[in-house]
Structure 1
Amino acid sequence: MKPFFLILVYLFAVTLPLILSAWVGGPPRQFHQELASGLGILAFSMILMEFILSGRFKAISNGVGMDVTMRFHQIMARTALVFAVLHPFLYQGTPTGGQRPWDPTRQLTLTTDFSALSTGIAAYLLLAGLVVMAIGRTQLDYKYEAWRLLHGIGALLIAVLLLHHTVYGGRYGSEPVMTWVWLVMTGVAAGSLLAVYVLVPLWQKARPWRVASVTQLTPKQWELTVKPEGHRGLDYQAGQFAWLNVGHSPFSMKENPFSICSAPASGAEVSFMIKELGDFTRTVGQIEAGTVAYVDGPYGNLSVDGRTEPGVALIAGGVGLAPLLGILRQMRLTGDSRKVRVIYGNRLIDQIAYREELGEQDVVYVLSEPPETWQGETGFIDAELMDRVFSEKEISEWLFVMCGPSIMMDIVEDHLIKKGTPSHRILSERFSYD
């Protein structure tokens, strides 16, 4: 029921300005002009809601999961861009500027005040740029911290520009009721940034952590463990993730999301499995024990707690093992009676982490570039492998939890659904989103 409730809240928030604008009313106009205003109103309200979807709010990410949250965030941003693109062109043929005898209040006339139009044009261009930068972030290859900063500042600037354009250039936005509605909604959106970048860091400053150990797992993978200093630590479920900031101020942008690979039952220390990819991760091996750290979490709903399925399948690609390892460790520590089977895929044999801990029983190792002496599965985690590892009964009854590259997860998810696995028995978390 929680995802359904959150969807209803979203739909209410997005359509509220549109409903109120219709209620405020005004002299009737041609359909294409009303459609233009409607699309502009929806685009603005959807953009403001993007602040909430992209903010670190546990009620959302823990309620529906990060996969759903981020995918919805992306789709709505692109939809808002389409609405914004169509918005000005639908006004074709509408009188502009000056007084008209039939329109003494100018309610049927578009403004030609450049200050009111310029903010809309600027927001229009910024929104397109922001969406393109988000889609092409990997190809553009700029620092994650720089992208976060540009994304946040750009989104806030778009909201402010649209507020000015809507109130001073819009037919409905200039109405006192609508002006207040837009002011409140923009304030809430900006407040979400304030919460993430000011209030959360203030809370973190009072709850520091210290690096307990840094252990090399493979040539490019590490386990970093932190321990709470002066507080009880993190109340989390196995499989969740947190934002980790090591060696910087809690107000620094240099924090990154990592899945927790430790188990809650193992104690207050929290461990993260980290692969060398970006600027921070390439320096993990240089971090010294005792370095101050800050942890914001937990987030996500990749958890098997409270599930009643007779078995749990953990399917990992590369460093996607991290949250699934946390789940496996928790199940072993608590004596969970459910059957469990692990599929763990990598490219090379020296990329396999925690092999001694994982063991060989009920664990299937897959290598896409195996050595000549390799006796395990080869190739990729695909439909054929799934059918070899799991019976028809297991596919229809077990819970499938997966984390790894998008292509692997798309293939596995599609196959499971095709074979009859209900969608609520498939939990997934991706590394990135296109």
Structure 2
Amino acid sequence: MPAVLLVLFYLGLTCAPLAMAALQGHAPRPLRDELASGVALAGLAILLMEFALSGRFRVISGRIGMDVTMRLHQLLARAATVMILLHPYLYSGLQSLRAGLTPPGSAPLNFDWSGLWPGIVAWLLLGALMVMALGRDGLYRHEMWRAMHGIMALVMTGFGVLHATRAGRYSGDPALAMLWWALFGVAVFSLLWVYVVKPLMKARRPWVVGAVTRLADRTWELRLSPEGHKGLRYLPGHFAWISIGKPAVSLDENPFSIASAPSDGPDLRFVIKELGDFTNRLGDIKPGARAYVDAPFGSLTLKRHKHAAGVALIAGGVGIAPMLSHLRQLDADADPRPRLLVYANRTEAQIACREELDQRAAHGPLRVTHVLSEPPPDWTGETGFVTAEMIQRLLDEEALQSWVFVLCGPPPMLHAVEKALMDLGVAPKNILLEQFSYD
């Protein structure tokens, strides 16, 4: 499904409660009251659809990218939270609460306790979720946060739907009430898909650790081999969620870009840097350990850029992983297009797979440019950061107009390089990037 159709489908579902409410034919109330009901209807619909956005559905993330999906998830959740939290304060007062004071043709709100208490619980849970989300990095391990966030969000939206169908002027309508419970069903299915169905599917296709090899300073290559199956179908630029030494149904999994190429065979290779609880223990993992893989994901592939005149790969640090996958597959396909790799690191000791890159540059249409922000005294390559001026020295005007540019690295670098490319006239459609940090 094209990205445009996905957006239209999303807008249709989130706007459907407003449209169904408008078609019920109720006499209009004061503007503030209608606004209060409207933001509640829209906010609840957005919150319910958030589960689908974060459900690892490839039909969504494969079209617009996992990073875009998760950033949309965050931005829309914040907007919906503001709507819901403001909703009770927007009602205009006594004319909404007492039938005798309402304007002709308007209807009083239902403040019966059976409809009010679920709304209070949902409102408080939503506020707690927002506070926990803002402080999650310093307070919780990622796995604990995922579990708490999903369960609390589902309980909160369940109480929200109960409140809407019991106390809402419009949501008491059978058709709209049915839509609310259908959307809640989608939310339940999304959580079950991520935490139950997909783990059970992974359990049928286990992997084993083949080798763990140090590539550079604090950087390792992890090799996984399929056990009892033919492996994974993927494209260069895809990434995978992997867990090692844990049950198939486990919250302990992490996303890593695939560094191997489909032409390499069934084994998967990952380039991983020591950055956290799991990655800091990579050197202790023994060959033969059981692993599980949920893949492929991502949109950092060249399938929509087969006719680009050349390929420019700009990597920072461990962002070299998907670039290795691309380079390995391009060489395996004997792709004649010129290609450039700009590989930025802090120190020379952090350069991974340097010998392989030099060999590919010596025997193919590849140029490799290393960039160090802390170079040694005898360094003869580029220094500092990847800038527009550096890119302009490496590529002519024709390449800037006709090549595809693939970016992977730390978020500050990604944003700086993306801006530099656009300042040089590179079309946004020719810039591919994906990140795993959304703050």
Measured after TM superposition, the shift of residue 185 of structure 1 is 0.6
Measured after TM superposition, the shift of residue 239 of structure 1 is 0.7
Distance of 1:239 and 1:338 partners within structure 2: 18
Distance of 1:172 and 1:50 partners within structure 2: 22
Equivalent residue, structure 1, for 2:317: 318
Question: In structure 2, the residue corresponding to 1:231 is in which secondary structure?
Answer: coil
Residues 114 and 318 (structure 1 numbering): CA distance in 2 closer, same or farther, change over 3 Å?
farther
Distance of 1:280 and 1:192 partners within structure 2: 26
Measured after TM superposition, the shift of residue 83 of structure 1 is 1.7
Measured after TM superposition, the shift of residue 104 of structure 1 is 12
Residues 374 and 118 (structure 1 numbering): CA distance in 2 closer, same or farther, change over 3 Å?
farther
2:394 equivalent to 1:395: no
Q: Give the RMSD, CA atoms, in angstroms.
A: 2.0
Distance of 2:188 and 2:274 partners within structure 1: 34
Residues 101 and 401 (structure 1 numbering): CA distance in 2 closer, same or farther, change over 3 Å?
closer
Equivalent residue, structure 2, for 1:72: 72
Matched-pair contact (CA < 8 Å) for 1:316–1:345:
yes
Taking structure 2 as the reference length, the TM-score comes to 0.93
Measured after TM superposition, the shift of residue 101 of structure 1 is 8.5
Question: In structure 2, the residue corresponding to 1:252 is in which secondary structure?
Answer: coil
Distance of 1:94 and 1:242 partners within structure 2: 56
Residues 25 and 251 (structure 1 numbering): CA distance in 2 closer, same or farther, change over 3 Å?
farther
- Structure 1 residue runs of 4 or more that deviate by more than 4 Å after TM superposition: 96-99, 101-105
Distance of 1:235 and 1:132 partners within structure 2: 40
Equivalent residue, structure 2, for 1:52: 52
Question: In structure 1, the residue corresponding to 2:86 is in which secondary structure?
Answer: helix
Equivalent residue, structure 1, for 2:437: 432
Q: Which amino acid aligns with 1:72?
A: L
Question: In structure 2, the residue corresponding to 1:35 is in which secondary structure?
Answer: helix
2:260 equivalent to 1:255: no
Measured after TM superposition, the shift of residue 113 of structure 1 is 3.4
Residues 166 and 356 (structure 1 numbering): CA distance in 2 closer, same or farther, change over 3 Å?
same
Equivalent residue, structure 2, for 1:206: 204
Matched-pair contact (CA < 8 Å) for 2:316–2:345:
yes
Query: Gapped runs of 5+ residues in structure 1?
Result: none
Q: Which amino acid aligns with 2:294?
A: D
Q: Deviations over 1:369-396 (max 9, x none)?
A: 1121221111112222222222222111
Question: In structure 1, the residue corresponding to 2:23 is in which secondary structure?
Answer: helix
Distance of 1:76 and 1:406 partners within structure 2: 21
Question: In structure 1, the residue corresponding to 2:434 is in which secondary structure?
Answer: strand
Query: Aligned runs of 1:19-418 on 2, under 5 Å?
Result: 19-95=19-95, 97=97, 100=100, 108-138=107-137, 140=138, 142-307=140-305, 308-359=307-358, 361=361, 362-418=367-423
Residues 320 and 190 (structure 1 numbering): CA distance in 2 closer, same or farther, change over 3 Å?
same
Measured after TM superposition, the shift of residue 25 of structure 1 is 3.2
Distance of 1:304 and 1:365 partners within structure 2: 23
Residues 370 and 132 (structure 1 numbering): CA distance in 2 closer, same or farther, change over 3 Å?
farther
Distance of 2:289 and 2:280 partners within structure 1: 17
Distance of 1:337 and 1:306 partners within structure 2: 17
Q: Which amino acid aligns with 1:225?
A: R
Matched-pair contact (CA < 8 Å) for 1:396–1:419:
no
Tell me whether 119-128 or 410-419 shows the greater mean CA deviation: 119-128
Measured after TM superposition, the shift of residue 54 of structure 1 is 0.7
Residues 392 and 137 (structure 1 numbering): CA distance in 2 closer, same or farther, change over 3 Å?
farther
Question: In structure 2, the residue corresponding to 1:222 is in which secondary structure?
Answer: strand
Equivalent residue, structure 2, for 1:16: 16
Question: In structure 2, the residue corresponding to 1:430 is in which secondary structure?
Answer: coil
Taking structure 1 as the reference length, the TM-score comes to 0.94
Measured after TM superposition, the shift of residue 96 of structure 1 is 5.4
Matched-pair contact (CA < 8 Å) for 2:388–2:424:
no
2:7 equivalent to 1:2: no
Q: Deviations over 1:114-167 (max 9, x none)?
A: 4533432333343344344434443x2531111211221121122112112211
